[in-house]
Amino acid sequence: MRALYKATAGPGFEFVERPEPEAGAGEVKIRVLRTGLCGTDLHIESWDAWAQSEIRTPLIPGHEFYGEVVALGPGVHDVKVGDRVSGEGHIVCGTCRNCRAGRRQMCIRMLSVGVHRDGAFADYVVIPESNVWVHGADIEPDVGAIFDPFGNAVHTTLAFPLAGEDVLITGAGPIGLLAAAVARHVGARFLVATDVSPARLELARRMGVDLALDVRTTRIAEAQQQLGMREGFDIGLEMSGHPTALPEMIANMNHGGRIAMLGLPSQPITVDWAKVVSHMLTIKGIYGREMYETWYAMSAMLASSATLRQAVSAVITDRFAAPDWAKAFDTARSGSTGKVVLDWSA
């Protein structure tokens, strides 16, 4: 099969032929049709400090995908050959305290597809049946390929009730854009997104935000004035990981405001903890998706709203054939696009 492959430690990938994987007990073999590019994949390709500490080669990366089930290992009961599917990329142990309590997204022994085991940047991928998500016929392949990051957005956005609330999203990358679409769908009142990329800010406007701010030229406090807000934001969704984003968000929250934080900081952040205490703010870390409540919520929302389906699809701005992977990575790394998808179906 064709695969993007990192044979040894170091920058880059090779587009090569590799043996097809076979489904073992309890596993499902999937013919990959589409894959999404993630920041994690960019880290692995460039072989930065995080990749050097986390990745063991050889490895086929890739964890965002949509495909068709072609073979079942012994003991598979519910998934069927021919099902169109995506996959939950976090594989859990099933026996730690959190797993046994039904909090599988908090597993202490979690392994990631495309990070700790071969992933989906290939014609075929094998994952446990318990990680397979079967789609309805109404899900387009491109949208199915980004259910993983869409799940990050849904998990973060629904961390706190936000119907009728004023919501601030810092970071209008693909997940921030998806969060904006979900927040509008759920019924946020004022919705403000920030970034430094004009292209991404324009995409945020298409998602239906009330204001899309370039924080190089406009402060968030000015957005409150423009919208006639009197008491600050009720909900904050921090998607950027930039060291200035969380402090600026805290400075613009209402008393009792709640912050869901998905963006991974690249360096230490100085926080005004006195304000966190005196304003009784809540800060909640978010990682991945709830297994599998987030997946049910994603499918239900898309099934119930053509508007949301269109918005999610609009986040995908660039598509490439799999052999053109290098161009796709350059495009994703530019920081000025929405989601980038690779087509493996040819």
Whether residues 168 and 138 share a domain: the answer is no
Whether residues 142 and 157 share a domain: the answer is no
Whether residues 76 and 208 share a domain: the answer is no
What is d(CA 339, CA 235) in angstroms, rounded to the nearest whole number?
25
Looking at residue 220, its pLDDT comes to 96
Its sign, for the CA torsion 69, 323, 321, 131, is positive
End-to-end CA distance of the chain: 12
Asked, for residue 294, whether it belongs to a domain, the answer is: no
Show which residues are catalytic. 40, 43
Q: CA geometry: angle at 216 spanning 213 and 218, to 5°?
A: 50
What is d(CA 340, CA 35) in angstroms, rounded to the nearest whole number?
9
Tokens of 191: 């919705």
Asked, for residue 77, whether it belongs to a domain, the answer is: yes
* 3-state per-residue secondary structure call for the chain: CEEEEECCCCCCCEEEECCCCCCCCCEEEEEEEEEECCHHHHHHHHCCHHHHHHCCCCECCCCEEEEEEEEECCCCCCCCCCCEEEECCEECCCCCHHHHCCCHHHCCCCEEECCCECCCCECEEEEEHHHEEECCCCCCHHHHHCHHHHHHHHHHHCCCCCCCCCEEEECCCHHHHHHHHHHHHHCCCCEEEEECCHHHHHHHHHCCCCEEEECCCCCHHHHHHHHCCCCCEEEEEECCCCCCHHHHHHHCEEEEEEEEECCCCCCCCCCCHHHHHHCCCEEEECCCCCCCHHHHHHHHHHHHCHHHHHHHHHCEEEEEEHHHHHHHHHHHHCCCCCEEEEECCC
Asked, for residue 305, whether it belongs to a domain, the answer is: no
Whether residues 124 and 228 share a domain: the answer is no
Whether residues 201 and 139 share a domain: the answer is no
Whether residues 187 and 263 share a domain: the answer is yes
Asked, for residue 304, whether it belongs to a domain, the answer is: no
Q: Show which of 268, 285, 302 is a domain's final residue.
A: 285
Looking at residue 335, its pLDDT comes to 85
Tokens of 15: 């587009």
Asked, for residue 22, whether it belongs to a domain, the answer is: yes
Asked, for residue 307, whether it belongs to a domain, the answer is: no
Looking at residue 346, its pLDDT comes to 82
Single pTM value for the model: 0.95
Provide the CATH number for the domain around residue 89.
Answer: 3.90.180.10
Whether residues 142 and 169 share a domain: the answer is no
Phi/psi at 256 (nearest 5 deg)? 80, 10
Asked, for residue 327, whether it belongs to a domain, the answer is: yes
pLDDT in tens, the chain (346 residues): 999 999 999 999 999 999 999 999 999 999 999 999 999 999 999 999 999 999 999 999 999 999 999 999 999 999 999 999 999 999 999 999 999 999 999 999 999 999 999 999 999 999 999 999 999 999 999 999 999 999 999 999 999 999 999 999 999 999 999 999 999 999 999 999 999 999 999 999 989 999 999 999 999 999 999 999 999 999 999 999 999 999 999 999 999 999 999 998 878 999 999 999 999 999 999 999 999 999 999 999 999 999 999 999 999 999 999 999 999 999 999 988 999 999 999 8
Give the number of domains in the chain: 2
Asked, for residue 92, whether it belongs to a domain, the answer is: yes
Whether residues 85 and 24 share a domain: the answer is yes
Whether residues 84 and 100 share a domain: the answer is yes
Whether residues 121 and 208 share a domain: the answer is no
Whether residues 134 and 10 share a domain: the answer is yes
Domain span at 261:
153-285
Among candidate residues 80, 83, 104, 84, the one with its CA nearest the CA of residue 94: 104
Q: Which residues contact 137 (CB under 8 A, 6 or more apart)?
A: 84
What is d(CA 253, CA 230) in angstroms, rounded to the nearest whole number?
11
What is d(CA 182, CA 94) in angstroms, rounded to the nearest whole number?
30
Q: Show which of 285, 302, 334 is a domain's final residue.
A: 285
Whether residues 140 and 13 share a domain: the answer is yes
